[in-house]
Amino acid sequence: MKRLIPIFAVLLVGLWMSCGDENGPTNNGDTTPRLVANTTVDEPSLSSPDEAVWSSVDSVTVPVKMGNAPKLNPPKVAAYPSEILVKAIKKGDKLYLRMQWSDTTFNAYPEHFFIIDSIPPIVFDQKAGIMDEDQIFVMFSDFLGGGYDVWNWRVLTTGGGSLGKGYTYSDATLTGDSAGTTTDSVTVENEDQGWQPTYAHKDTSGFEGHILYLEDTVHWQDTLYIKVDTIPYGEPPETLYDTTAVHFWNTTGWELGQKVPGWIIDSSFASLTDEERGSRWDIRAVSDYDNDALEYHVVLCRKLYTTFSDDMDLSAVDSVKVTIGIFDNQVTFEPPGSDRGFSNDFWIILP
C-alpha cells in the first residue's frame, strides 16, 4: 500500500560552462557519474511520482555515505540509505528530478496529539517540540555563485502541500530563499487547548491519515451535532430534553494511541503561481511512500530560470554538478545528527 499522500578557481568555472558532448563535461579524466536529462518524453503531469513517462527515462544510481557533505558532516554519522536512484527530464522551461531510495520507516509525524483515554470525553496527550521528519536536500553546485542552490523536500511540512522549499548554501550556512516570498511556511501549528488539539479532521475518529489539510478541519469549539437526552424529572415524573452540543473530543470510535496531526497544511498555497509563491516555494513536488518496498519515490520540479536572484539559472548552463542529502527522521541541516548521508557528486547534463 502506498501513501500518496550547492568559489572555485576560474579554470573550474570554464570547465563547468562547457560540455564536450552528451556524456558530460570534458574534465580530464573525471569519473563523476553523468545523467543526461531526457528531452524526448512527454512532460510529467505531477499527478504521481510513478507516472508511466518515467519508465523510459535513463537513471543513475549514486552511493550515499558519510563525509560527503560540504564542510558539514560530523565525524560520527550513519549514512542512510546506501544509494539513491535518480532520473531527470528537461521539458520546455522546467527540470524534473525523480529520486528513489530505501527507508524502512515512514516518519511524517514531527508533532502530534494521541489518544490516552478513548471514552468520551476523550483525553489527548501531546508529543510536542519535535520537528523531525524524512527529508532530502538536492544541492546544485553553483560555481559562479560560490555555493549551492538547494531544493529541500520534507515528507510532511513541504511535501504535504505538494511543494519543495528553496535554500541557498554558502559559507557553511543554509539560508532560505527570500526573493518575492510571501510566507515562511505552508504549515499551521495545531495548538493545544488545554488537553485538546485546536483542530481535528472533519471525520474525527474515522481519520487515520498523517496529513491534516486546513480545509478539512473542525475547530474544538465547532458543534458537530446535537445530542438529545430524555430525562425523567419531578413528582409526578415529567419528561425533559437535555440538548447537548457534541464536539470532536466527545465523539465515539477513537482508539488508544490514535493520532491527530500537530501541523496543518494550507494546500491552497500550492495553487498560487510561481511568482505569487516566490523563490522559497517555487519547487513543485509529488511523492509516495511504498509500504511494501519500504522506499520513497519523490519528483521535484522547478523552472530552469525563475527570474529570482537567489535561484541558480539552470537555463544558462549545459551541465551542473549535484549532490543529494538524505535525512531519515531529522529536523536540521546542521550537525549534530544521525541517520543522514550525502551522495557522491554526479553531473546532470542539460541538452
Any idea where the domains of the chain sit in the sequence? 2-114+133-186+268-349
Output the pTM of the full model: 0.82
pLDDT of residue 181: 81
347's CB contacts (< 8 A; 6+ apart) are 24, 25, 32, 33, 34, 35, 319, 320, 321, 322
Q: Which CATH class is domain 2-114+133-186+268-349?
A: mainly beta
**Confidence class of residue 237 from pLDDT cuts 50, 70 and 90?**
confident
Model confidence at 149: pLDDT above 60: yes
250's CB contacts (< 8 A; 6+ apart) are 120, 121, 122
189's CB contacts (< 8 A; 6+ apart) are 111, 262, 263, 264
How far is C-alpha 273 from the geometric centre of its chain's CA atoms?
19
Q: What distance in Å separates the CA atoms of residue 252 and residue 341, rounded to the nearest whole number?
A: 44
Q: What distance in Å separates the CA atoms of residue 248 and residue 223, rounded to the nearest whole number?
A: 8
Position with higher pLDDT, 76 vs 119: 119
Model confidence at 295: pLDDT above 90: yes
List the beta bridge partners of residue 299.
98, 286
pLDDT in tens, 70-111: 444 433 334 456 899 999 999 999 999 999 999 988 888 778
Lowest mean pLDDT among 50-54, 136-140, 233-237, 337-341: 337-341
- Retrieve residue 294's grid coordinates: 519500504
Best CA proximity match to 144, nearest among 343, 316, 347, 348: 316
